[in-house]
């Protein structure tokens, strides 16, 4: 399946695409070892959005399997998990990085963050007043230990690895190429992400 | 420590209290085996609220231990987990029940829900436009399996079991005595919850 359109997300930045109902969107880790924070909103009512807590309740699992659906705040499918051409390590537990995260890590002055990328991208689309939902953290390696302890490990994706979703409703999909360069989740070297909209 | 004030939350209903900075709030499962969905908001800016995703990132665990803090969307402590006089089984992964949940379970017509209890309670306080955060589901028994599968088991609390928090900022605390009577999390018999504000 060739990409009819590719949106390049530069390192540390965010981009949005609107995917029609039934359309396919693929998120590609171009260089490997890079986390992509992702959100999906009902294009006609952004208060309805991909919701981690409703998705977990729907699939009885911390993260859906291929073939299962990510659900919205109204418990409706928004994205179907169609393919996973990665080591199948993703996260839906950890908050997107934000200015307070970097402040807490000792950064002085401004640092790019996934939250800022989301808020700017949505504001550019006229949605300046959202509350930040739990992100779907693609490729992010947060192992859950037997005692429910969480680790922070480098992403295991190789260059070109991707995940593919089919939209169950018209959706605004936002992707941030995570700028985290202190905690080693991006192997301390933030790189780019591609959003592909394959020809259907 | 005697309770200077007790707010009774009838079965299937919700109530709110405002806890001053440094104040203590105790949530009591009066009859045992009952889930209490709980939220906490900065009393001066409800867009800052107890956030599961920020809390997990702060404590590196699915649920804080006694002595640790629940963090807000701005990564600031809002509630300190002071005591746990229960079997220490709680959840912060599952969405509060809502009308769509009961519709999906085959209920015809209206059914009380934790989401409705939250929204009504907050609207009564003048906060009619919130986005529903992940609830802190006290006493809720959602085991996480080795394969990250989630179970739905009856609450293990005994009558009078309680958890105690200290507010790290002035907070609106909302508690819903979960009305779920189909899935067995409340032993299929929803009962009451007490909110105690002990004398300090």
- Report the mean per-residue pLDDT for chain B: 96
* Interchain proximity A149–B60, CB inside 8 Å: yes
Q: Which helix (DSSP H) or strand (DSSP E) does residue B80 occupy?
A: strand B77-85
What's the gap in Å between the CA of B186 and the closest CA on chain A? 16
Query: What's residue B3's pLDDT?
Result: 55
Q: Using a CB-CB distance cutoff of 8 angstroms, which residues of chain B are in contact with residue A141?
A: none
* Confidence grade of residue B4 (pLDDT, cut at 50, 70, 90): confident
* pLDDT tens-digit series, residues A130-183: 999 999 999 999 999 989 999 999 999 999 999 999 999 999 999 999 999 999
CA–CA gap between residue A166 and residue A54 (Å, rounded): 18
* Interchain proximity A63–B148, CB inside 8 Å: yes
Q: CB of A144 within 8 A of CB of B149? A: no
* pLDDT tens-digit series, residues A76-130: 999 999 999 999 999 999 999 999 999 999 999 999 999 999 999 999 999 999 9
CA–CA gap between residue A41 and residue A48 (Å, rounded): 6
What's the gap in Å between the CA of A198 and the closest CA on chain B? 31
Query: What's residue A199's pLDDT?
Result: 79
If you measure CA to CA, which chain A residue comes closest to B135?
A: A53
pLDDT at position A6 over 90: yes
Q: CB of A35 within 8 A of CB of A137? A: yes
% pLDDT > 90, chain B: 96
CA distances to B64, B143, B153, B199 from A146, in Å: 15, 11, 19, 39
* pLDDT tens-digit series, residues B67-102: 999 999 999 999 999 999 999 999 999 999 999 999
Interface size A-B, in CB pairs within 8 Å, comes to 85
* Interchain proximity A131–B131, CB inside 8 Å: yes
Neighbours of B168 (CB within 10 A): 18
If you measure CA to CA, which chain A residue comes closest to B147?
A: A61
Query: What's residue A2's pLDDT?
Result: 53
User: What DSSP designation does B156 have?
Assistant: -
Model ipTM over 0.90:
yes
DSSP 3-state of A178: coil
pLDDT at position B200 over 80: no
Q: Using a CB-CB distance cutoff of 8 angstroms, which residues of chain A are in contact with residue B53?
A: 52, 93-95, 134-135
* pLDDT tens-digit series, residues B11-30: 999 999 999 999 999 999 99
Q: Which helix (DSSP H) or strand (DSSP E) does residue B54 occupy?
A: helix B52-59
* Confidence grade of residue A4 (pLDDT, cut at 50, 70, 90): confident
* Confidence grade of residue B199 (pLDDT, cut at 50, 70, 90): confident
Q: CB of A15 within 8 A of CB of A121? A: yes
Q: Using a CB-CB distance cutoff of 8 angstroms, which residues of chain B are in contact with residue A150?
A: 56, 60-62
Query: What's residue A200's pLDDT?
Result: 64
* pLDDT tens-digit series, residues B99-130: 999 999 999 999 999 999 999 999 999 999 99
What's the gap in Å between the CA of B90 and the closest CA on chain A? 12
Query: What's residue A29's pLDDT?
Result: 98
* pLDDT tens-digit series, residues B136-175: 999 999 999 989 999 999 999 999 999 999 999 999 999 9
* pLDDT tens-digit series, residues A167-178: 999 999 999 999
Query: What's residue B5's pLDDT?
Result: 94
Select from B137, B143, B142 the least CA-distant residue to B177: B137
Query: What's residue B1's pLDDT?
Result: 47
Predicted model pTM: 0.97
Residues of chain A that touch chain B, judged by Cβ-Cβ distance less than 8 Å: 47, 51-54, 56-57, 60-63, 73-76, 93-95, 98, 100-101, 104, 130-132, 134-135, 144, 146-152
User: What DSSP designation does A109 have?
Assistant: S
CA–CA gap between residue A102 and residue A14 (Å, rounded): 18
Residues of chain B that touch chain A, judged by Cβ-Cβ distance less than 8 Å: 47, 51-54, 56-57, 60-63, 73-76, 93-95, 98, 100-101, 104, 130-135, 144, 146-152
């Amino acid at each position: 399946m060739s990409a009819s359109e590719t949106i390049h997300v530069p390192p540390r930045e965010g981009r949005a695409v609107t995917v029609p109902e039934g359309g396919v969107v693929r998120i590609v880790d171009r260089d490997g070892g890079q986390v992509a924070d992702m959100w999906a909103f009902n294009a006609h009512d952004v208060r309805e959005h991909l919701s981690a807590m409703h998705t977990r309740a729907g699939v009885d699992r911390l993260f859906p399997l291929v073939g299962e659906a990510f659900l919205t705040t109204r418990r409706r499918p928004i994205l179907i998990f169609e393919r996973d051409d990665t080591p199948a390590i993703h996260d839906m537990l950890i908050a997107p990085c934000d200015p307070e995260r970097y402040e807490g890590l000792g950064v002085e002055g401004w640092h790019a963050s996934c939250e800022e990328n989301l808020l700017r991208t949505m504001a550019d689309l006229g949605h300046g007043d959202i509350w930040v939902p739990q992100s779907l953290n693609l490729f992010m390696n947060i192992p859950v230990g037997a005692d429910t302890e969480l680790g922070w490990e480098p992403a295991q994706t190789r260059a070109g690895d991707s995940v593919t979703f089919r939209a169950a409703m018209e959706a605004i999909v936002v992707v941030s190429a995570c700028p985290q360069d202190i905690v080693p989740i991006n192997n301390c070297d933030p790189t780019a992400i591609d959003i592909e909209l394959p020809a259907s």
